[in-house]
Amino acid sequence: MLWAVPGAGDWGLSHWVHVLTGLPSPFAREQIAIQEENFVRKEDYETVVKKLEKEEEEHSKTKTLLAKEDEKLQFALGEIEVLSKQLEREKQVFEKALSNVKSKALRESTKKDKLISKCNEIESHIMKQEDLLNDKENEIKELQQFITKQKQTLKTQVSDLKIQKQQESYIAQVLKKKQKKGLK
């Protein structure tokens, strides 16, 4: 064959026809098709980047909200601690006062009538204190329920953040794979 170059393999007449006419060879068309298949359109890439930026922004907002909720939780825990200490002090004061009154009543039999009257007053005060203690215990229970709800909310938010992070990781992997394919 006159047009063939020895050892050139596929560089025969058909190759020179494509070179001279300016038309792409079947091999070149196949390479173009493979490149088009492996590349991501710029619009698609920009859309994914915008979605990623939006997700990062939402993630930042969620972290800020989580920090605020944590601050509220820490404040509520501080209040519970203060109320618990106050309740304990009042209980000790109350128990000490009650003990003193009973001891005094036993030692002073000559003032029995006066002490009985005074004991009635103290018992009334005790009942008021017990009501007050019960009210404070109920308040503590309500605060504990609030904390429990806050913990559940925080767990849910943490779970949502983990899911979002996995989604972001997946998107990053997909983009990385597409970029690698585009570089080949």
Q: Is the pLDDT of residue 81 over 70?
A: yes
Q: Stretch 1-29: mean pLDDT, rounded?
A: 55
Q: Provide the percentage of residues in the chain whose pLDDT is more than 70.
A: 80
Q: In the prediction, which pLDDT does 44 show?
A: 84
pTM beyond 0.75: the answer is no
Q: In the prediction, which pLDDT does 177 show?
A: 86
Q: How many CA atoms lie within 13 A of 99 on its CB side?
A: 6
Sorted by sequence, the CB contacts under 8 Å of residue 120 that are 6+ apart come out as none
Q: In the prediction, which pLDDT does 3 show?
A: 40
Q: Stretch 76-96: mean pLDDT, rounded?
A: 92
CB atoms within 10 A of CB 102: 13
CB atoms within 10 A of CB 115: 19
Structure letter (DSSP) for residue 110 = G
Higher local confidence (pLDDT), 37 or 72: 72
Q: Evaluate whether 41 touches 182 at the Cβ level (below 8 Å).
A: no
* Number of residues assigned to the chain: 184
pLDDT 10s digits, 111-146:
777 768 888 999 999 999 999 999 999 999 999 999
Distance CA 4, CA 13 (A): 6
Q: Stretch 62-85: mean pLDDT, rounded?
A: 92
Q: Stretch 97-109: mean pLDDT, rounded?
A: 79
Helices (H), the chain: 13-21, 26-38, 42-107, 112-183
